[in-house]
Chains A and B, each alone.
Chain A
Amino acid sequence: MLSELRELWRFREAIWEFVKRDLRLRYKNSVLGFVWSMASPLMRVFVITVIIRRVMKVDAPNYSAYLFCAFMPWNFFVQAAQDACSCVLLHFMLVKKVYFPRELLPLSSVLANALHFVLGLLILFVYLAVLPVHPTKLVLLLPVLLLIQCAFLLGLALILSFLNVYFEDVRYVVANGLQILFFATPVIFPVETISRAGAHWYPLVMLNPIAGIVVAYQKILLPPIQLSDVPALPLDWGNLCYTAAVSFATLLVGYWLFNRYKWRLAELV
């Protein structure tokens, strides 16, 4: 595997070209394009906030900030997973014409989404500053959390990208699965409320590494949410270690699997 990594390093300029192309096609060469792609999640945050605060009468202060904090990494996750499914098929003409390490495709797909996410984070910081909500000292963990999330997404992308070449409906399974997973992940509802359903639900929900990552973003950027009937939860270090381990394990497994099947891709595509 080490020689494969060296090959990847040799093609580092090509990785950047792929990322640029992905971003350019996404934003169609305009600054306004980026604004539009941010508008959708922003609107969703706004609508959900109104419903949760006014209609369902959840009493959390600054709820929109918590929602926004969880929504951004969730969106990154969903976009990256879906883009990973199609990344090899999208470039099938190149795959059949030129040699390059095929891992480049899922890698550049995740990197492009990561860049988009980081830009979104800047907007989040502006929002938090305006509210105003002050981040805790834990904000220094942000790059670490980003690294963990990227590791996990990369591993997932490596697996999904070649699976979708073999089975063309993988991206529909992923899309639908993610919609369901959304409700099982503490994005709309604060993680503190899980204990309302019973003490054993928390470890179950947090078994999902996405949940671990999303909640961690909330915990390092904002103070724990204060609700009337449940205790406020600080950052769960144990869960963070578990999530990191799962993420890097996914990366290793994904990389190994992808390397095993990558030469067959050109023949199937």
Chain B
Amino acid sequence: MTLPAADTAIEVRDVVKRYRLYHYRPASLKRAVIERGRTRYELVEALKGLTFTVRKGESVAVIGSNASGKSSLLALLARVYRPTSGTITVTGRVATMLELSGGFHPDVTGLENIQFMGPLLGIGRREMERRAQTITDFAELGEYIDAPVRTYSSGMIMRLGFSIAVHADPDVLLIDEVLAVGDESFQHKCYAKLEELLRARTTIVFVSHDMAAVRRICRRTLWLDQGVLAADGGTEEVVEEYLRAVESRGRLA
């Protein structure tokens, strides 16, 4: 296997991802013994052989209709799952905003959750404590930072998760379609922060349905259509291609 070039942040080569979608799985030992052979599943191919490279400092959007494999791709880049075949290489520190819950423990305070996430993101404890105030301020949580996360609204949880991710000095930032939950002014702040990160040569992979946001942040777009890379190029052209395809499919339906 050849090593990726020095300025490559993400390299995806012939990646295939298949999941087992269980129609029935004996979920207890008792059932597994009694109901041997009753397991039913189908193999769902979420990604059918993707190859692309992202250079350091690039901002790439991933668009596509639902069930196109966008979230699977992001989860694979985050190393939450392993590809069925093919290789993925991501260099540097990875911060993610994959889902609204942010991975926070509800009975623990926001501040303790921030401190907990530090080592998982590769930031030492003392450094994370130093950044805690900045993170709290950006997330506009104020006094709530000392309250258990279960008292937070979903918007607050998203803000905290996003704040931690962008303040973690990531080399690669992976964002799934979560920003829509925030209000106008926070969304504005987020995009401004993303632009700041881009100037600092952070690589961003951005999954979204919001074409305006995609156009604003990303110069390159990948269109994922049912697990296959349908288009890979400048944002304007790819977005237009995608919208045209959606419209024509809508007309056929």
Contact = CB atoms under 8 A, between A and B. Distances in A.
Contacts of A98: 78, 80, 96, 103, 117, 120-121
B29 A93 contact: no
Contacts of B98: 96-97
Contacts of B118: 13, 17
Given A13-B125, A17-B119, A93-B103, A168 B96 contact: no
Contacts of A97: 78, 80, 96, 98-99, 101-103
Interface stretch (B60-68, B104-112, B205-213, B245-253): B104-112
14 contacts: A11-B120, A13-B124, A13-B125, A14-B119, A17-B119, A17-B120, A94-B120, A96-B80, A97-B98, A99-B80, A99-B94, A168-B27, A173-B29, A266-B80
Interface in B121-135: 121, 124-125
A95 interface: yes
A44 interface: no
A263 B82 contact: yes
List the 3 closest pairs (A to B, CB-CB), nearest first.
A99-B79, A13-B119, A14-B119
A267 B76 CA distance: 12
Interface in B10-32: 19-20, 26-30, 32
A14 B120 contact: yes
A261 B26 CA distance: 18
Interface string B32-44: 1000000000000
Given A21-B105, A93-B104, A99-B94, A167 B81 contact: no
B115 interface: yes
Nearest to B107: A25
Interface of B: 19-20, 26-30, 32, 75, 78-82, 94, 96, 98-99, 101-105, 107-108, 112, 115-121, 124-125
B27 A266 contact: no
B119 A99 contact: no
Contacts of B99: 96-97
Given A13-B125, A17-B120, A97-B103, 17 more contacts: A13-B118, A14-B120, A16-B119, A17-B116, A21-B105, A93-B101, A93-B103, A94-B103, A96-B80, A96-B99, A97-B78, A98-B121, A168-B28, A266-B75, A266-B80, A266-B81, A267-B81
Interface in A167-215: 167-170, 173
A170 B29 contact: yes
B131 to A, nearest CB: 15
A133 to B, nearest CB: 41
Interface string A33-64: 00000000000000000000000000000000
Interface of A: 11, 13-14, 16-17, 21, 24-25, 93-100, 167-170, 173, 263, 266-267
Interface of A is mostly: helix
A16 B28 CA distance: 32
B94 A167 contact: no
A263 B19 CA distance: 12
A169 B30 contact: yes
A99 B174 CA distance: 12
Contacts of B116: 17, 21
Among B29, B30, B99, B102, chain A packs the most CB atoms within 10 A around the CB of B29
Among B99, B102, B119, chain A packs the most CB atoms within 10 A around the CB of B119
Nearest to B82: A263
A185 to B, nearest CB: 23
B30 to A, nearest CB: 6
Contacts of A99: 78-80, 94
A173 B33 CA distance: 13
A168 B96 CA distance: 29
Nearest to A96: B80
Contacts of B75: 96, 266
Given A93-B101, A97-B102, A99-B78, A11 B27 contact: no
A70 B82 CA distance: 44
Contacts of B120: 11, 14, 17, 94, 98, 100
A69 B26 CA distance: 41
A96 B79 CA distance: 9
A25 B82 CA distance: 31
B81 A263 contact: yes
Contacts of A94: 103, 120
